[in-house]
Amino acid sequence: MKIRVSVTCFIAFLMLFSLFSLSPRGLLAQETGETSAFTRIKQQFSGLSTEEKVRKFGGLSPEEKTRLFNALTDREKVLIFQNLSTEDRQKIFSELSDDQKEKLFKSIGTMDQEKLFKALSEVDKRKMLQTMSEAEQEEWLAKFPELGPEKVPPPIKPPAARPRPAPEAPSSIEKIMSGQFPTDISRNLKQFGYDFFNKQVSTFAPLTNVPVGPDYVIGPGDNFTIHLWGKAEETYDVSVNRDGCIYVPRVGTLNVSGLTFSELRRYLVRKFKEYYPAFEMSLTMGRLRTIQVFIVGEARTPGTYSLSSLSTIITALFEAGGPTKNGSLRDIRLFRNGKVIKDLDLYEFFIKGFKGNDVRLQSGDTIFIPVLGPVVGIAGCVRRPAIYEMKGSQTIAEMIAAAGGVLPLGYLQNVVVERITGHERRVIRSFNLDPSYSKRNENMKIRLKDGDVVKIYPIYKKLRQVVYLEGHVKYPREYELKPGMRLRDIIPGYDALLPEPYRPQAEIVRLVPPDLHPEIIGFNLGRLLAGDESQNLPLQDLDRVIVYNAWEKQEKPLVTIKGSVRNPGTYRLYRGMTVK
């Protein structure tokens, strides 16, 4: 009986204890105990060094880690977060608020951002993208293209009728080869080279994702990544600060400004060898710096331009719209630190494709476009008629070469130069530039003057050294006049004629010098074809041999039928023809 009472009392005691522990007062006591324990942890944590904090944080439970992390300062959060494992990073980051996620993500380094971004869920990744600027979004979408917007295929539409492009006007070469032989020259000349800068899209805009080349000069604002492997597995994402230095853990601060890309690689290898005995290294350029360049003078849009550090003189000119037509293309100057370091002649690029003086720009450079220099016009039978700027004093030969050379139909025995003399009057100078002329080389070296117009006219359009076969023949056309050529060379037999030629007579129409008046020379076609050598007359330049149809020279015999027939009418009478 005593035992039963004791057991009953013990059970009642347990029930009262459990009720007490589950009451608000009991829960508060339990929570107060946990809070005091967390307060002790936090107090201990604040007095530790950085390495001790990292070690202490790693020994906490997952719940304690999350609670302590939320209680840290922003600086402590970044410090601790960078030393967490990937699993802990993902767990802690997922429990933060959206504002805390954004703030923490922007506070950690580029390499840590990429590692964290890879470990996030797709939902968190898209949330992070929404907090970025458009430029940052493009950069991250290039690294993670799977996060781009889903492309819905557009509905299939019937192909719209394409507007027909306006037919392009035939070129001068096309006209000549089509038989439209010029008889005069055009004076509608344009200044050469300025159309190059008329494009709406900057085809010379330098890219940021192209190899920089071994001669690229490192400067403040450049970013690059150092990868080590072998006995050292490290990755460093570094940027050059305003002092031209980078900071690499263990190695320290290094001054790299002014080094070329190839020199930077050798310099870093030498520095890392002081700490790592055996390793391999790769160096990859990331974000390139921007530079400020001044473009002044006769530019279409002078001013200050922010350009990529890969920019050259030509790409900078393209950004400014190029020189105006009052600006020089042949004496563009690059100033650096108050001194001219390059003179650029764009004709070397436009005509020869040579870019030897098109150097890379540096921040603070000034590109000066002076006023247009002396000019000459090249009109007529050259491959590229235009107005050309001279560099100093140039010869006829040099300017014709700039125009692409003379066309085969150019008449060189009388090349005309219009010239303005003494600011008073226009005069004409003529030169014989024919290769067979004894003083041709001397004339080609004659210096042109500012405002000269060189005119090369076409040769006479009529063919020479030719004879023509016309009339009642199978192949009416022109034939080359060869030495000793005679009639039988172009009329070898009846196979060269159409049926029923008029054999008693054919004619040669000859232009007799010196005034080239026409004379008619007759010959017997039948006797020529029968082998009579007296009728095989010699031919001369521009002769026209005419063969007639037999019925052109005599009246055709006709017969008429009338009455009750199906097809009454008049018919030609053939030899041996009967009524039937």
Rounded-to-integer distance, Cα 506 and Cα 523, Å = 5
- Percent above pLDDT 70 for the chain: 84
Tell me: do 92 and 123 sit in the same domain: yes
Token reading at 154: 């557009």
Tell me: do 200 and 319 sit in the same domain: yes
Tell me: do 55 and 118 sit in the same domain: yes
- Which tens digits make up the pLDDT trace of 106-133? 777 777 777 777 777 777 777 777 878 7
- Sole residue written with tokens 């936090």: 42
Which phi and psi (to 5°) does residue 526 adopt?
Answer: -65, -45
Continuous segment of H or E residues that includes residue 45: helix 24-46
Sign of CA dihedral 474, 477, 483, 484: positive
- Which tens digits make up the pLDDT trace of 73-118? 777 777 777 777 777 777 777 777 777 777 777 777 777 777 777 7
Tell me: do 296 and 241 sit in the same domain: no
Residue 168 is assigned to a structural domain of this protein = no
SS3 55: helix
Residue 425 is assigned to a structural domain of this protein = yes
Tell me: do 408 and 434 sit in the same domain: yes
Tell me: do 383 and 520 sit in the same domain: no
CATH code of residue 498: 3.10.560
- Whether residue 7 is predicted with pLDDT greater than 60 in this model: the reply is no
Specify the pLDDT at position 36: 59
- Sole residue written with tokens 């506070």: 107
Residue 304 is assigned to a structural domain of this protein = yes
Q: Domain boundary residue among 369, 395, 413?
A: 369
- Whether residue 237 is predicted with pLDDT greater than 70 in this model: the reply is yes
Residue 578 is assigned to a structural domain of this protein = no
Question: CB–CB of 546/470 below 8 Å?
Answer: yes
Structural domain for 519, as ranges: 466-553
Burial of 73-92, coded b for 16+ CB within 10 Å and e otherwise, reads: eeebbbbbbbebeeebbbeb
Q: What angle do CA 66, 74, 76 make, to 5 degrees?
A: 70
Residue 565 is assigned to a structural domain of this protein = no
Tell me: do 200 and 329 sit in the same domain: yes
Specify the pLDDT at position 2: 41
Residue 174 is assigned to a structural domain of this protein = no
Rounded-to-integer distance, Cα 145 and Cα 555, Å = 91
Tell me: do 297 and 338 sit in the same domain: yes
Tell me: do 304 and 200 sit in the same domain: yes
- Which tens digits make up the pLDDT trace of 363-419? 899 999 999 999 999 999 999 999 999 998 899 999 999 999 999 999 999 999 999
Q: Domain boundary residue among 240, 262, 285?
A: 285
Tell me: do 353 and 448 sit in the same domain: no
Rounded-to-integer distance, Cα 434 and Cα 447, Å = 18
CATH code of residue 438: 3.10.560.10
CATH code of residue 263: 3.30.1950.10
Residue 160 is assigned to a structural domain of this protein = no
Residue 243 is assigned to a structural domain of this protein = yes
Token reading at 509: 């129409």
CATH code of residue 43: 1.25.60
- Which tens digits make up the pLDDT trace of 458-489? 998 888 999 999 999 999 999 999 999 999 99
What pTM value is reported for the model? 0.60
Q: Domain boundary residue among 285, 303, 320?
A: 285
Tell me: do 498 and 549 sit in the same domain: yes
Tell me: do 396 and 528 sit in the same domain: no
For the chain, what is the domain count? 5
Please give the full DSSP string across 275-296, using - where no structure is assigned.
T-SSEEEEEEE-SPPEEEEEEE
